[in-house]
Amino acid sequence: MSVTLSKAVRQNLQAMQSTAKMMADTQNRLATGKKVNSALDNPTNFFTASALDSRASDLSLLMDSVGNAVKTLEAADNGVKAIQKLVESAQGTARQALQAPQKSEAVTGVKGTTTGTDMSGYTDNDLGVAETITFKVGGGSEVTVAFADGTQDTLANIATQLSTGAGISAAVVSNKLVITADNEGDSIEITSTGTATLSAVGLSAGTSTDQVTAVAATDNATRTSLEAQFKETMDQIDQLTQDAGFNGNNFLDSDDLKITFNEDGSSSMTIKGADTSSSGLGLTSPAAGDFQDDVKIEAVLKSLDTATTSLRSSASTFGSNLSIVQTRQDFTENMINTLESGAANLTMADLNQEGANMLALQTRQSLATTALSMASRADQSILSLLR
């Protein structure tokens, strides 16, 4: 059944319906905070904002792996610093051992003498002309000391020539020649081409060979203790290297890590690990008795210097990588904010404006209701005249 309405009533009714629809839309915007809630509201803005939100979401997922990479690099950096301190401690231990008295294996059992003869007053005639003395330790190579015609070789010169041989060293102590074998149990064979030369250095004549056994010496207790400390430090370096990992990745144990910075994987970085264990740094625990030998301690100190250089290089590399990753992390966070802001600008409603719109629509609705009432009364007045 259709009802015939007057023109005034119909116009006021349509105005009220339009106002009610606008109020519903405004209420929806106020409730959701968005002016575009579906593709029906604004297709262009809706799909553009969806794409921006999707990329921001993908980048947010990558931020977790980037954050883990930062922490892994920080753990590696802390590990390198700690290992450097251990290396410095090992250097101090080795230097302290070097200052302690060295174990001695001086030959004192030569036939007819104890430590050699004071040669400060010997002349060319005493030493002989064009004669030689040959020294040989164990299975090592021979060292021949020659006395040329018209020359007078001093003990210092003899000691210098002897020290070039394998397994033997010599020094002048209180004008006496002291021969030292590197290894306990070695024998020293001394041969002369002339009796004058042989007797000049304090050996008995009448034989071409004098064999002597190196006197075993007692290890220096301080050096032995420091050697044990050094070995413990090497063990701690290895343990610290294993403890420097984070979330299953350990850059100090030669682990590599690839970090992806964007949603399609076209931007990435691979961080190479390093081996900072004692073996990786070129360090080895000394064999028993090594710290009794100054030469071996000097070799240890040289390897520690090399290890220090390697650690500094690793620290520099990790520091540079950390700076790069943190920069990318900050950039990605800012990019996410930019994408989210861009999407919001396309879809978010101005709540202040929508609130003002709601107030205006409520006023309009009230006025439309009043106008509709007045139009209805006019129709009723006409009807009363017809009665």
For the stretch 177-221, pLDDT in tens is 677 766 655 566 666 555 544 444 455 443 434 444 444 457 788
Q: In this structure, how many other beta carbons lie within 10 angstroms of the beta carbon of residue 172?
A: 18
Q: What are phi and psi of 270, to 5 degrees?
A: -110, 120
Query: From CA 231, how far away is CA 246, in angstroms rounded?
Result: 27
Give Cβ neighbours of residue 145 (< 8 Å, ≥ 6 apart): 132, 133, 134, 135, 153, 158, 161, 162
Mean pLDDT value of segment 155-173 = 70
SS3 category, 72: helix
SS3 category, 180: strand
Q: What is the CA radius of gyration of the chain?
A: 48
**Confidence tier at 147 by pLDDT (50, 70, 90):** low
Structural domains of the chain ordered from first start: 57-100+221-340 (1.20.1330.10), 124-213 (no CATH)
CA dihedral 157→158→160→163, nearest 10 degrees, is: 180
Q: In this structure, how many other beta carbons lie within 10 angstroms of the beta carbon of residue 344?
A: 14
Query: Which residues partner with 253 through β-bridges?
Result: 275
The more confident residue out of 89 and 123 is 89
| Torsion region of 25: left, alpha or beta (phi above 0 gives left; psi -120 to 50 gives alpha) | alpha
Three-state SS for 342-380 is: HHHHHHECCHHHHHHHHHHHHHHHHHHHHHHHHHHHHHH
Q: In what helix (H) or strand (E) does residue 257 lie, and over which residues does it extend?
A: strand 257-260
Structural tokens at position 107: 């030959």
Q: Is the pLDDT of residue 379 over 70?
A: no
Confidence at residue 96, expressed as pLDDT on a 0 to 100 scale: 93
Note whether 167 and 150 are within 8 A (CB).
Answer: no
Q: What are 173-184's pLDDT values in tens digits?
A: 766 667 776 665
Confidence at residue 71, expressed as pLDDT on a 0 to 100 scale: 94
Confidence at residue 278, expressed as pLDDT on a 0 to 100 scale: 93
Give Cβ neighbours of residue 139 (< 8 Å, ≥ 6 apart): none
Confidence at residue 113, expressed as pLDDT on a 0 to 100 scale: 34
Confidence at residue 214, expressed as pLDDT on a 0 to 100 scale: 41
Please give the full DSSP string across 162-211, using - where no structure is assigned: HTTSTTEEEEEETTEEEEEESSTT-EEEEEESSHHHHHHTT--SS-S-EE
**Confidence tier at 233 by pLDDT (50, 70, 90):** very high
Mean pLDDT value of segment 367-377 = 73
Confidence at residue 219, expressed as pLDDT on a 0 to 100 scale: 75
Whether the CA torsion 115, 118, 119, 120 is positive or negative: it is: positive
Q: What are 96-143's pLDDT values in tens digits?
A: 998 888 665 444 444 333 334 443 444 444 444 445 667 666 566 666
Give Cβ neighbours of residue 94 (< 8 Å, ≥ 6 apart): 226, 230, 291, 297, 300, 301, 304
Query: From CA 9, how far away is CA 140, in angstroms rounded?
Result: 128
> Is-above-0.75 flag for pTM?
no
**Confidence tier at 150 by pLDDT (50, 70, 90):** very low
Note whether 152 and 124 are within 8 A (CB).
Answer: yes
Query: From CA 25, how far away is CA 34, in angstroms rounded?
Result: 11
Q: What are 16-60's pLDDT values in tens digits?
A: 788 888 888 888 888 888 888 888 888 999 999 999 999 999 999
Query: From CA 30, how far away is CA 231, in angstroms rounded?
Result: 73
Query: From CA 277, how far away is CA 266, in angstroms rounded?
Result: 34
Confidence at residue 153, expressed as pLDDT on a 0 to 100 scale: 53
Q: What are 295-353's pLDDT values in tens digits?
A: 899 999 999 999 999 999 999 999 999 999 999 999 999 999 999 999 988 888 777 88
Confidence at residue 140, expressed as pLDDT on a 0 to 100 scale: 63
Lowest-confidence region among 11-15, 148-152, 191-195 = 148-152
Q: In this structure, how many other beta carbons lie within 10 angstroms of the beta carbon of residue 91?
A: 18
Query: From CA 299, how far away is CA 293, in angstroms rounded?
Result: 10
Structural tokens at position 27: 């209420």
